[in-house]
Amino acid sequence: MINEADLGSEERWLYELISRKALESLRKNNFDAEYASDRKEALEKVIQRIPSKATIGVGDSVTLQQIGFFSWLESRKDYQVFNPFLKNPEGYSIAAPQERFELMRKALTSDVFLAGTNAVTLDGKLVNIDARGNRTAAMIFGPKKVILVVGVNKIVRDVDEAFRRIKEVCAPINAKRHFEKHHIESMGELPCVKTGVCVNCNSPSKICRKIVIIDGQSPRFRFEEEEGISIIIVGEKLGI
């Protein structure tokens, strides 16, 4: 019997088609880009790309949480990890502010840096906005290898649509997350947290500060030790 309430196969078909278009453009822009059908396969592809005994830096990423990367990393003893975003069970930061700063700096020169991305365009660009810029800085230069895991919901038509997505979806939800789950009270004063709508504020707690558009990679301008950015697009809705 046909189950009209189940659209799983249709969604998977559409997600893969959209992902293939983005992957083709990313590869033309000299990114290492690959498709994973689900979060389990995504984790496998991430693990395959991390050399033994590497130093690992991470950005704040819901996507990496969702694919099980941090749980896997906790089970390993052969990596040195620079994670400024560790939280206790109540959601408070484990590291003091100065320690967090030092971990962010060390992550910038790690062997492998992992994060998500705010948006991927169909013409092969990465669009990201940060508050501090530790995540976007690491994407540009520093680590020998960068691995970005991207849910299919992050794929957009172009840079303009990427900015709309960031302003209308990513920033409000992320600010609300930090306010409610991580107890950062100042986030509760942001207009987007109060109303759900971005007003291009200039609040002291504004998280939309550092804007980076990565329009591909140039193999000619890469040191021998640099492997550049690998992008794994997952056929699921992940992250913010």
- The one-letter amino acid code at 134 reads N
Distance, in Å, from the CA atom of 70 to the CA atom of 73, rounded to the nearest integer, reads 5
Give residues with Cβ within 8 angstroms of 187, minimum separation 6. Answer: 175, 176, 178, 179, 193, 205, 207
Order of strands, sheet of 145-151, starting from the edge strand that comes earlier in the sequence: 32-36, 228-234, 145-151, 112-115, 55-58, 80-82
State the DSSP code for 118: S
Closest CA to 36 of 237, 239, 233, 238: 233
Distance, in Å, from the CA atom of 180 to the CA atom of 174, rounded to the nearest integer, reads 10
What would the mean pLDDT of 46-67 be, rounded to a whole number? 97
Distance, in Å, from the CA atom of 154 to the CA atom of 152, rounded to the nearest integer, reads 5
- The one-letter amino acid code at 192 reads C
- 17 pLDDT exceeds 90? yes
- 97 pLDDT exceeds 90? yes
Q: Residue 5 — pLDDT band, cuts 50, 70, 90?
A: confident
Give the number of other Cβ atoms within 10 Å of residue 194's Cβ.
13
Closest CA to 84 of 49, 53, 50, 115: 115
- The one-letter amino acid code at 32 reads D
State the DSSP code for 108: T
- 2 pLDDT exceeds 90? no
* Tokens 């939309």, located at residue: 208
Q: What is the pLDDT of residue 16?
A: 95
Q: What is the pLDDT of residue 63?
A: 98
Span 159-203, pLDDT tens digits? 999 999 999 999 999 999 999 999 999 999 999 999 999 999 999
Count of helix runs (H) and strand runs (E) in the chain: 9, 10
Two tokens, residue 100:
């967090």
Cβ contact 169:240 at 8 Å: yes
State the DSSP code for 168: I
Q: What is the pLDDT of residue 220?
A: 85
